[in-house]
Amino acid sequence: MYRISLDSIDNLFAAISAVEKLYIPADREDGQSYFTEWKEGVKLSDNLNTFRSAKGLFFPQVQDLVSFRTEGKKIEVIDTRKETEDFVVFGVRACDAASFGILDRVFLSDPVDSYYKTNRDHGTVMTLACNRPDETCFCTSFGIDPSDPAGDISCWKDKENLYLKSLTEKGEKLVYALKDLLTECDENAADTVKAEVKAVMNELPLSNLKPDDFTGEQLSVFNSEKWKELYRSCIGCGTCTFVCPTCQCYDIKDFNTGKGIERFRCWDSCMYSDFTMMASGTPRLTQLERFRQRFMHKLVYFPMNNDGVYGCVGCGRCLRKCPVSMNIVKVMKSLGGDAK
């Protein structure tokens, strides 16, 4: 394990960005933090978490896939991909770090999504343990430890120092490149910080929330009468899906430029009326069905198809952001026991 004084953290950022593009959580004018490319003067945010997760660095909200140019009867297919540069993302919390594992299961299983894989291959993830978890946090419900985040390099922060520990080859390489700035320290240096966070987690209101195992009883969950009540307040906006670190649905669209087609993909939301629209129509005609889809996907279908891994990491963004405060915790609590 290594340490660096917090007073010198800008030097660390400067050293990383001298080699690769670096993104850190930085506050904008609205007081929320956003993963921002580091430049001289960009300050690390004190916020617990970013408005949106780092998902967008690997799976951007909008991404060009391919272009077609037509001339008479000729169609030219143009590969619009550009050379991807290596980058580092610093300050990813344990919940968001765990979300990459969920996205990997979707995009890196056969057939591999080469757009996503390229970004994953080029990105180095530096996580940062939480210091002040919030009442909306429930990552522990999904077996995530906020005091011990995964990633290529895990970091901890106390009042004076930042502690770093590399966990992968990529992480090792980056730490090696930064070694002039870092001081080697005891493996237990971050233990006090870890213990403090764990103690706070136990005090938080959602600490005892446990996802029920619905996998054997999907039909009874699907048919539960409770959806009729739960969905009613939903205004059908895409907020929960767009701030979610694990939502991975996308739509592929063609933009007609007049001279050809630019094919792009963009995040989709199961809350939207044209979600999974096909030539034959959409299989989910009502908001009830679309609302149900979001939670069935995360709590039932995903674990069924992925060795019991839930499609939620308990980051709490949807709890903070839903305009009508209808969220996955309320759904879990309402449905819990219903299937039994």
- CB–CB of 323/262 below 8 Å? no
Min CB(168)–another protein separation in Å: 31
Site membership for another protein, residue 195 (CB under 8 A): no
User: 22, 144, 329, 339: which one contacts another protein (CB under 8 A)?
Assistant: 329
**Distance (Å, whole) CA 174 – CA 178:** 6
Site membership for another protein, residue 135 (CB under 8 A): yes
User: 215, 239, 276, 306: which one contacts another protein (CB under 8 A)?
Assistant: 239
Please calculate the CA angle 130-132-137 and round it to the nearest 5 degrees: 80
Q: CA distances (Å), 228 to each of 83, 270, 301, in order?
A: 48, 17, 20
User: 26, 48, 57, 197: which one contacts another protein (CB under 8 A)?
Assistant: 48
Q: Which is nearer to another protein, 80 or 220 (CB)?
A: 80
Stretch that binds another protein, among 4-12, 16-24, 128-136, 172-180 (CB under 8 A): 128-136
Stretch that binds another protein, among 2-10, 162-170, 186-194, 231-239 (CB under 8 A): 231-239
Q: Which is nearer to another protein, 2 or 115 (CB)?
A: 115
Per-residue contact flags (x/-) with another protein for residues 88 to 127, judged by CB under 8 A: ----------------------------------------
Site membership for another protein, residue 290 (CB under 8 A): no
Site membership for another protein, residue 249 (CB under 8 A): no
- CB–CB of 211/294 below 8 Å? no
Q: CA distances (Å), 103 to each of 87, 313, 327, in order?
A: 18, 11, 21
Site membership for another protein, residue 312 (CB under 8 A): no
Site membership for another protein, residue 336 (CB under 8 A): no
With CA atoms as reference, report the closest residue to 2 among 15, 12, 14, 10: 12
Instruction: Write the burial class of residue 299 (CB in 10 Å: 0-12 exposed, 13-18 middle, 19+ buried).
Output: buried
User: Site size for another protein, by CB under 8 A?
Assistant: 52
Q: Which is nearer to another protein, 39 or 333 (CB)?
A: 333
Site membership for another protein, residue 243 (CB under 8 A): yes
Q: Distance from CA of residue 207 to its chain's centroid?
A: 21
281: DSSP letter: B
Q: Which is nearer to another protein, 101 or 238 (CB)?
A: 238
Q: Which tokens go with 179?
A: 């070694």
User: 4, 17, 35, 52: which one contacts another protein (CB under 8 A)?
Assistant: 52
Q: CA distances (Å), 318 to each of 41, 52, 177, 288, 309, in order?
A: 31, 10, 38, 18, 19
Q: Give residue for tokens 């909306």.
A: 136
Q: Give residue for tokens 């090792």.
A: 172
Instruction: Write the burial class of residue 44 (CB in 10 Å: 0-12 exposed, 13-18 middle, 19+ buried).
Output: buried
Stretch that binds another protein, among 159-167, 177-185, 186-194, 228-236 (CB under 8 A): 228-236
Please calculate the CA angle 197-330-303 and round it to the nearest 5 degrees: 80
Site membership for another protein, residue 156 (CB under 8 A): no
**Window 8-37: residues binding another protein (CB under 8 A):** 28-32, 34
| Residues of the shown chain interacting with another protein in the complex, contacts defined by CB under 8 A | 28-32, 34, 48, 51-52, 61-62, 132-136, 200, 203-206, 232-233, 235-239, 242-243, 251, 253, 255, 264, 266-269, 272-274, 277, 319, 321, 323-327, 329-330, 333
